[in-house]
Structure 1
Amino acid sequence: MKKLDTIFTIICSAGLCLLLISQFAFKSNANANPFRTESADAEWRPPALPEQLSFAGEAVPLERWDVKERLDREVLFNAYNRANILFLLKLSNRYFPIISERLKAAGVPDDFKYLCIAESNLLPGAVSGVGATGFWQFMGGTAPGYGLEANSQVDERMDVAKSTDAACQYLKTAYAKFGTWTAAAASYNCGMGGYNGQATFQQTKYYYDLHLPEETNRYLFRILAFKHILENADALGFKVDDKDLYSEIPVRTVTVTSSIPNLAQFAIDNGTTYKILRLLNPWIRGKSLPVKSGKSYTVKLPVKSS
């Protein structure tokens, strides 16, 4: 009997210990921050700003507190959107060579490829809340004035080469009007009329001395932020292996001079699918492709497998 009493005492003591431990554990968990993760223990620091910066060969006056703080804001907002920066590093490998080639051919500085990022994030199908569309975000009513067809069947605002050529037309006109590429870039957001109105009232065309609408103020500094981050990605901690970059897709082209009533059948006849046809030619908007007399389109198709 004495032995049984001893066993009973041991069991009760063990049960009491377990009860106390469970209560303590529950209390600790109840007091824990449910939103805390392992990453919360990391230090978050602002990315370093460059000591010097230029846009299209024009110096950015970073010695001015207002300029430096505006740049700092956009670098912070965009550098800590890490997923988007990594995505842009991958996607820019596909589109930057095409954009840079068209900019160079038109005599427009290469830095304007960062304006394209600010406009559309390099997405051909990007559409703004007011209807601006494509890589360079032309409005439907403005596009034809720059040689772009934009309707329910064909929308060349989504063609990277043609829309870049159109943007170059605008930028060169704005540069001739305002005298600097920085002003031309800002006017791409607020329009030449908007920029000229502010410059006339404030009696200066110098961008960094102008008080402009907040969207335009942020716009130019977003472009500068993208330039700084992407050109210094490795130093800022953004690592993308070459094998993970999106490469330019090898294609063959065919010139279409007559209407295609059924693009799905056209795709099949050319060894591909309607889906791939649309992905390679985002400017095609419908299920058919009407071609007016004397008009032609260059259609991209996958390279035939050997």
Structure 2
Amino acid sequence: MLLSKLYTNANSSAKKDPIKKALLEQVEKKKKAMVLSPEKQKEAYYSSIKFANKRVPLQNHSVETKFERYLATFSYRKQQSYAMHSKAEKHLPKIASILKSYGIPEDFKYIPLIESDMNPQITSHRGAGGYWQFMPSTARLYGLKVHGKFDERKDLIKSTHAAARYLKSLYSEFNDWTLVAAAYNVGGGSLKAAIRRQGTDDYYKLRLNQETGSYIYKLVSVKQVIENPNKHGYKRYAKLDDKYQSINEQNLL
């Protein structure tokens, strides 16, 4: 109440005093500039970035540098294509719904975009295939039929149910969703061995092979460009209600 009166009095006296009025206007401009400055925008945006409801430690310089490298890779400037957003729009709602029914965090819906680019025909040199790039043995273990020309890894719905069961089993081992994602890529046994050797279960401190060491960064980067298309150059999909971007905010990255 007292502050309100003081501010009101300052404004009323400023109307009579042009110098005081000019000073007050400068103060307001500086406040507005600070709120919308690139540094403040970046700080607010980075503090919002999470994977599976856990904040990504972007205050760590090495984590920030690595994240920005992969984020740039998935930006429109680099991709020059709307294909990823088109696939996401078509498939991700179905995937998210299935994952939710198993209690899996929604962010895991981005795995097929990273693993197969939503192309069920892709097969790795090691034999992993389908949307979720299951190895045949793992696919069978989690309920998929894989024999001859009949391959349920190429069925989006069935393979997503299998992936959800697999992710849930990994969570029972690691009790941490970030580690679950890493284990999905490298295998639970390999990740446990790395944790045991290095004496840390912090993904961002573990020294892992290049593919696994970049896996979370790729997932988080894809999440950002899908959820915030305007910020990352995908104007066709841009909305004024981009999750972390106001209509006055500049594109930062």
Does structure 1 conserve the Cα–Cα contact (< 8 Å) formed by 2:70 and 2:217?
yes
Are 1:147 and 2:146 an aligned pair? no
The CA distance in 2 between the partners of 1:238 and 1:199, in whole Å, is: 38
Instruction: Give the counterpart letter for 2:175 in structure 1.
Output: G
- The CA deviation string for residues 106-150 of structure 1, in whole angstroms up to 9 with x for no partner, is 110110011221111111212222221011000112211010101
Aligned residue number for residue 281 of structure 1: none
- In structure 2, distance between residues paired with 1:83 and 1:180: 35
Check conservation: 1:90, 1:240, Cα contact below 8 A. no
The residue aligned with 1:182 is 178
Length-normalised TM-score, structure 2: 0.73
* Deviations, residues 21-56 of structure 1 (Å, cap 9, x unaligned): xxxxxxxxxxxxxxxxxxxxxxxxxxx794221001
Given that 1:178 and 1:205 are in contact with CA atoms closer than 8 Å, whether structure 2 keeps it comes out as no
Counterpart pick for 2:195 among 196, 199, 202: 199
The alpha carbon displacement at 1:167 in A equals 0.9
Alignment of 1:235 onto 2:231: yes
CA distance in 1: counterparts of 2:68 and 2:151, whole angstroms: 37
Taking structure 1 as the reference length, what is the TM-score of the superposition?
0.60
Partners of 2:70 and 2:123 in 1: CA distance: 22
- The higher radius of gyration belongs to 1
- Structure 1 position 81 matched with structure 2 position 78: yes
Equivalent position to 1:115, from 111, 119, 124: 111
Once the two structures are superposed, the pairs formed by residues 270-281 of structure 1 within 5 Å of their partners are none
Using the alignment, how far apart are the partners of 2:65 and 2:231 within structure 1?
21
Shift of 1:158: 0.6
What is the CA RMSD across the aligned residues, in angstroms? 1.7
Distance 1:105 1:137, change over 3 A: same
* Deviation (angstroms), 1:235: 2.5
- Deviation, structure 1 residue 195: 0.5
Percent sequence identity is: 36
Residue 46 of structure 2 corresponds to 51
The CA deviation string for residues 277-304 of structure 1, in whole angstroms up to 9 with x for no partner, is xxxxxxxxxxxxxxxxxxxxxxxxxxxx
After superposition, where does 1:1-306 map in structure 2 within 5 Å?
Answer: 50-52=45-47, 53-79=49-75, 80-84=77-81, 86-240=82-236
Q: Is the 8 A contact 1:108 1:168 kept in 2?
A: yes
CA contact (8 A) 1:89 1:240 kept: no
- Aligned pair count? 194
Instruction: Provide the secondary structure at the position in 2 that maps to 1:220.
Output: helix
| Partner SS state of residue 141, structure 1 | helix
**Structure 1: stretches of 5+ with no match in the other structure:** 1-47, 243-306
Q: Is the 8 A contact 1:51 1:62 kept in 2?
A: yes
SS at match of 2:66: helix
Gap runs ≥5 in structure 2: 1-41, 239-253
The answer to whether the Cα contact below 8 Å between 1:229 and 1:236 also exists between their aligned partners in 2 is: yes
Which deviations, in whole Å up to 9, do the C-alpha atoms of 1:125-182 show, x marking residues without a partner?
1222222101100011221101010112310001111111111111111112112100
Structure 1 residue 89: Cα displacement: 0.7
Structure with the higher fraction of residues in helix conformation: 2
What letter corresponds to residue 182 of structure 1 in structure 2?
T
Once the two structures are TM-superposed, the CA of residue 241 in structure 1 deviates from its matched residue by 5.9
Cα pair 2:142 2:162 within 8 Å, conserved = yes
Equivalent position amino acid for 1:157 in 2: R
CA-CA distance at 1:209 after TM superposition: 1.8
Following TM superposition, by how much is the alpha carbon of 1:81 offset from its aligned partner in structure 2, in angstroms? Answer: 3.2
